[in-house]
Amino acid sequence: MDSKGIVLVTGASGYIAGFILQQLSREGWTVRGTVRNLARADEVRSALGLPDLQLFQADLTSDAGWAEAVAGCDYVQHIASPIPDAEPKDENDLIVPAREGALRALRFAHGAGVKRVVMTSSMAAIAYGHPEPRPVFTEQHWTDPANPDTYAYIRSKTYSERAARDWMAASGAGMEYVSVNPAAVLGPVLGKDFSTSLEIIKRLLDGALPGLPNIGFGIVDVRDVADLHVRVMTAPGMDGERFIACGKFLWFREVADVLKARLGTRARRVPTRRLPDWLLRIVSRFDATIRMVTPELGKVREASSAHAMTTLGWTMRPEEQTIVDCANSLIEKGLVKS
């Protein structure tokens, strides 16, 4: 079968990127990826089940390797961005590589004559810094990074998408740009590289939390996020578009209820009692990952994916299926203590 064309996926070892590479390959595209260290190349190919995947060493903070990676490509899926498992001491440790990496990907893609760049942004660039009562968020909303409702990761995603759009307006003539803005991405795992958002499920299954915090999040399946990236890559009339990928907003207690109802003894460590806000704040002093999410206590951030559904015919799996598939996959891959 002749290839449909060549697509570069940045951050090939990452969670979302892996599913994009698999889907593109299934659909007949020639795929390439970037990794920060080629020493991991065989591990990445094995996890993805793509033994012939061509990988290039390229980093968000350096020009080295980018020209070679993008040469001859029709499209670029720019997925690579730093995702912390703790709040950094200096927010620029996140903001600078996220912003500079986006601009680097655009610059080299443009120089290579790429038709369109699809970039993974985030609900983080949409749903923060808004007064209460918060609206149901749409693509028209933007996070206000100056607002105290934001923190380093939120600002990094906001600044990088803003910078990408500004660069395209000033220098991107002849190339198209689209962003995909997912909520908390859950679902099955391909290997040990998975999004920080999966810590939600992992810590519930591990019994690592003494109770259920008053925190919630919109949920979307990694397979559906990958599908949205692939759809927007070639759909006509997409230049400048922005697409939210977000299902129902669920509280930790609702996620725990799904695990208890569907997993039986596999969910025996999942807590059932509520965790008071004051106790979570104490726990956060000793746990950097928990400390990162304490600003979300009690906050509801709902968003609509209607734009992607009506424009692209995109659909989402039920959130309960995503949660169960994520949990079973973490257990089967040995990523949760049995």
CB-side neighbour CA atoms (13 Å) of 41: 13
E strands, the chain, in order: 6-9, 30-35, 54-57, 75-78, 116-120, 176-182, 184-186, 216-221, 242-245, 249-251
Pairing of strands 249-251, 216-221: antiparallel
248 is annotated as an active-site residue? no
Pairing of strands 116-120, 216-221: unpaired
Please give the C-alpha separations between residue 202 and each of 8, 22, 187, 319, in angstroms, as whole numbers: 31, 24, 12, 16
Please give the C-alpha separations between residue 139 and each of 47, 189, 275, 320, in angstroms, as whole numbers: 33, 28, 33, 25
| Widest pairwise Cα distance in the chain | 60
CB 139 within 8 A of CB 238: no
Residue type, 55: L
Instruction: Spot the catalytic one: 157, 260, 333, 337.
Output: 157
The residues annotated as belonging to the active site are 157
